[in-house]
Chain A
Amino acid sequence: MSKRAILIVILLISLMAVLAACANAGGTDTIKIGINAPLTGDIPKVGEGTKYAAQMWLEDNPELEVGGKKYKVELVIEDNESKAESATKANTKLITQDEVLVIVGPQSSKQAVPAGGVANDNKTPMISPWSTNPATTKDRPWVFRTPFLDPFQGPVLAKFATEEFGAEKAAVLYDVASDYPKGLAEYFKNAWEEIHGPGSVVAFESFTTKDADFSAQLTKIKDSDADVLFLPQYYNEVALIVPQAHQLGWDKPILGSDSWGSAELTKLCGADCYGDFFSTHYVAKGAKGATKEFIDRYKAKYGYVPDDVGALTWDAMNIVKKAIQDCGKITGDIEKDRQCVRDAMANIKNFEGITGKMSFNDQGDPIKCAVIVKINDQGEFEFYKQVCPEGMK
Chain B
Amino acid sequence: MTAFFQNVVNALQWGSFYALIALGYSMVYGVLLLFNFAHGDIFMVGAYIGFFVATAFLAMFGAATGLIALPSWLILLLVILATMFLTSFLGMAVERIGYRPLRNAPRASAAITGLMIGIILETTILAIFGAQRMKFPDMLPALSSAVQPVVGGVVISWQKILIVVVSIVLMLLLQWFVSNTKWGMAMRAMAYDFAAVPLMGVPLNRIASLTFALGSALAGAAAVLYSMAYPVLDPYMGITVGWKAFVAAILGGRGSIKGAAIAGFLLGFIEIFSATIFPSTYRDLIAYSIILVILVFRPHGLFGEEHTSKLRL
Residues of A in contact with B (beta carbons under 8 Å apart):
39-42, 44-45, 47, 176, 205-208, 210-213, 215-217, 219-220, 223, 236, 239-240, 243, 247-249, 264, 267-268, 270
**Chain B 224-259 residues near chain A, CB threshold 8 A:** 226, 229-232, 234, 236-237, 239-241
Confirm or deny: B2 has a beta carbon within 8 angstroms of a beta carbon on chain A.
Answer: yes
Sorted from nearest, which 5 A-B pairs have the closest CB atoms? A44-B131, A215-B10, A216-B275, A212-B230, A40-B131
Residue of A nearest to B5 (CB): A219
Pairs A–B under 8 Å by Cβ, sample size 14: A40-B126, A40-B130, A45-B133, A206-B280, A208-B284, A212-B237, A212-B241, A213-B10, A215-B272, A216-B7, A219-B7, A239-B133, A240-B232, A268-B135
Contact string against A for B residues 19-30, beta-carbon threshold 8 Å, 1 for contact and 0 otherwise: 000000000000
Enumerate chain A residues within 8 angstroms of B284, measured Cβ to Cβ: 208
Q: Is the interface of A mostly helix, strand, loop or mixed?
A: helix
Contact B131 A215 (CB under 8 A): no
A39-B131, A41-B131, A239-B135 given as contacts; is B281 within 8 A of A176 (CB)? yes
Contact A216 B135 (CB under 8 A): no
A205-B280, A247-B155 given as contacts; is B7 within 8 A of A213 (CB)? no
Enumerate chain B residues within 8 angstroms of A267, measured Cβ to Cβ: 135
User: In the complex, how many angstroms separate the beta carbon of A172 from the nearest chain B beta carbon?
Assistant: 11
Residue of B nearest to A262 (CB): B133
Enumerate chain B residues within 8 angstroms of A248, measured Cβ to Cβ: 6, 155
Enumerate chain B residues within 8 angstroms of A208, measured Cβ to Cβ: 283-284
Residue of B nearest to A249 (CB): B155
Confirm or deny: B124 has a beta carbon within 8 angstroms of a beta carbon on chain A.
Answer: no
Residue of A nearest to B131 (CB): A44
Confirm or deny: B167 has a beta carbon within 8 angstroms of a beta carbon on chain A.
Answer: no
User: In the complex, how many angstroms separate the beta carbon of A269 from the nearest chain B beta carbon?
Assistant: 8
Enumerate chain A residues within 8 angstroms of B241, measured Cβ to Cβ: 212
A40-B131, A205-B280, A239-B135 given as contacts; is B232 within 8 A of A268 (CB)? yes
Range class of the B interface residue count: 35 or more
Confirm or deny: B157 has a beta carbon within 8 angstroms of a beta carbon on chain A.
Answer: yes
Given A206, A210, A249, A268, which contacts B240 in the complex, CB threshold below 8 Å?
A210
Confirm or deny: B109 has a beta carbon within 8 angstroms of a beta carbon on chain A.
Answer: no
Confirm or deny: B273 has a beta carbon within 8 angstroms of a beta carbon on chain A.
Answer: yes
Contact B3 A247 (CB under 8 A): no
Residues of B in contact with A (beta carbons under 8 Å apart):
2-3, 6-7, 10, 13-14, 126, 130-133, 135, 148, 150, 155, 157, 159, 226, 229-232, 234, 236-237, 239-241, 271-273, 275-276, 279-281, 283-284
A223 and B6 CA atoms in complex are apart in Å by 11
Q: Is the interface of B mostly helix, strand, loop or mixed?
A: helix
Enumerate chain A residues within 8 angstroms of B132, measured Cβ to Cβ: 44-45, 264
A215 and B14 CA atoms in complex are apart in Å by 9
Contact A247 B157 (CB under 8 A): yes
Q: Which of B159, B230, B241, B271 has the most CB of A within 10 A?
A: B230
Contact A216 B276 (CB under 8 A): yes
User: In the complex, how many angstroms separate the beta carbon of B47 from the nearest chain A beta carbon?
Assistant: 11
User: In the complex, how many angstroms separate the beta carbon of B151 from the nearest chain A beta carbon?
Assistant: 13
A220 and B275 CA atoms in complex are apart in Å by 9
Given contacts A44-B130, A215-B272, list 13 more A-B pairs with CB under 8 A.
A207-B283, A208-B283, A212-B241, A215-B7, A216-B276, A217-B275, A219-B3, A223-B3, A236-B133, A239-B133, A239-B231, A268-B135, A270-B135
Contact B148 A247 (CB under 8 A): yes
A243 and B155 CA atoms in complex are apart in Å by 14
Residue of B nearest to A220 (CB): B276
Enumerate chain A residues within 8 angstroms of B135, measured Cβ to Cβ: 239, 267-268, 270
Enumerate chain B residues within 8 angstroms of A39, measured Cβ to Cβ: 131
A70 and B237 CA atoms in complex are apart in Å by 48
Contact B155 A264 (CB under 8 A): no
User: In the complex, how many angstroms separate the beta carbon of B45 from the nearest chain A beta carbon?
Assistant: 17
A239 and B135 CA atoms in complex are apart in Å by 9
Contact A236 B234 (CB under 8 A): yes
A365 and B284 CA atoms in complex are apart in Å by 36
User: In the complex, how many angstroms separate the beta carbon of A135 from the nearest chain B beta carbon?
Assistant: 20
Enumerate chain A residues within 8 angstroms of B150, measured Cβ to Cβ: 249
Enumerate chain B residues within 8 angstroms of A41, measured Cβ to Cβ: 131
A216-B273, A219-B276, A220-B276 given as contacts; is B232 within 8 A of A239 (CB)? yes
User: In the complex, how many angstroms separate the beta carbon of B102 from the nearest chain A beta carbon?
Assistant: 20
A248 and B229 CA atoms in complex are apart in Å by 13
Contact A240 B230 (CB under 8 A): yes
Enumerate chain B residues within 8 angstroms of A216, measured Cβ to Cβ: 7, 10, 271-273, 275-276, 280, 283
Residue of A nearest to B272 (CB): A216
Enumerate chain B residues within 8 angstroms of A215, measured Cβ to Cβ: 6-7, 10, 13-14, 272
A220 and B4 CA atoms in complex are apart in Å by 10
A247 and B281 CA atoms in complex are apart in Å by 23
A207 and B280 CA atoms in complex are apart in Å by 6
Enumerate chain A residues within 8 angstroms of B7, measured Cβ to Cβ: 215-216, 219
User: In the complex, how many angstroms separate the beta carbon of A241 from the nearest chain B beta carbon?
Assistant: 10
Q: Which of B10, B157, B239 has the most CB of A within 10 A?
A: B10
Enumerate chain A residues within 8 angstroms of B155, measured Cβ to Cβ: 247-249
Residue of B nearest to A39 (CB): B131
Residue of A nearest to B155 (CB): A249
Residue of A nearest to B134 (CB): A268
A239 and B227 CA atoms in complex are apart in Å by 13
Contact A264 B133 (CB under 8 A): yes
User: In the complex, how many angstroms separate the beta carbon of B274 from the nearest chain A beta carbon?
Assistant: 8
A247 and B280 CA atoms in complex are apart in Å by 20
User: In the complex, how many angstroms separate the beta carbon of B46 from the nearest chain A beta carbon?
Assistant: 15
Residue of B nearest to A209 (CB): B240
A240 and B226 CA atoms in complex are apart in Å by 12
User: In the complex, how many angstroms separate the beta carbon of B159 from the nearest chain A beta carbon?
Assistant: 8
User: In the complex, how many angstroms separate the beta carbon of B224 from the nearest chain A beta carbon?
Assistant: 15
Enumerate chain A residues within 8 angstroms of B126, measured Cβ to Cβ: 40
Contact B14 A219 (CB under 8 A): no
Residue of A nearest to B127 (CB): A40
Enumerate chain A residues within 8 angstroms of B131, measured Cβ to Cβ: 39-41, 44, 47
Enumerate chain B residues within 8 angstroms of A264, measured Cβ to Cβ: 132-133
A44-B130, A213-B10, A215-B14 given as contacts; is B232 within 8 A of A236 (CB)? yes
